[in-house]
Structure formats: structure tokens, C-alpha cells
Amino acid sequence: IQLTQSPSSLSASVGDRVTITCRASQGISSYLAWYQQKPGKAPKLLIYEASTLQTGVPSRFSGSGSGTGFTLTISSLQPEDFATYYCQQLNDYPVTFGQGTKLEIK
């Protein structure tokens, strides 16, 4: 199952609302997760099962979608949110990741 994220990169300002899209090549129910990764660090789980916020993740992060179309929204960007974001499908083997979206400061 291929996952296509858009955009591949994004420039935004602190306080902006940002949306990242992940499209699956076939239906994956709600078995989609979102991760944040900063340079030199392991990924951090933000959202699982498309819309469930991982414990400890700020409520400005939200996820939605099912089937083949999913979105990650950050309601008001904070300085610590500038990072690369990946979607991941866990509906079938092989587990696959999107190519990533790099979120940069404008």
C-alpha cells in the first residue's frame, strides 16, 4: 500500500493553521498513524487510528479521515512544531510510511 503525502514541504508562521494530507493507494480503514520527527531524533507518535491523540500530545494536533484520505491538522503552530511529519499505514503488510512533509519556518 503506497502512501502519498502532500505537500512534501511547507513554510508557515507561528500561529498558522496547517493541514497535511496523506492518501493511500487502497483502503486502509482507520489504521493510520502520524509521527513527528526532529533532526537526529527518533520519530514521536502523535495520532493513531486516524484520529486518536496519543497521550501527552498537545490538543492543537488533530487527525481525521478513513479509507484512503487522511489529514493531520495543527491548529496554531508553535515554534517546537517545526519538524518532519510522516503518515504510516498499519492495515496490511508491509507496513508503509509516507515520504514525509517537512514543515519549515516562514
Partner 1 sequence: EVQLVESGGGLVQPGGSLRLSCAASGFTFSDHYMDWVRQAPGKGLEWVGRSRNKANSYTTEYAASVKGRFTISRDESKNSLYLQMNSLKTDDTAVYYCAHPHSNNWGGAFDIWGLGTMVTVSS
DSSP code per residue over 32-95: EEEEEE-TTS--EEEEETTTEEPTT--TTEEEEEETTEEEEEESS--GGG-SEEEEEE-SSSSP
Whichever of 4 and 76 has its CB closer to partner 1, that residue is: 4
Pattern 3-22, binding to partner 1, x per CB under 8 A?
--------------------
Binding footprint of partner 1, residue count (CB under 8 A): 25
Q: Which residues bind partner 1 (CB under 8 A)?
A: 29-31, 33, 35, 37, 42-45, 48-49, 54, 86, 88, 90-91, 93-100
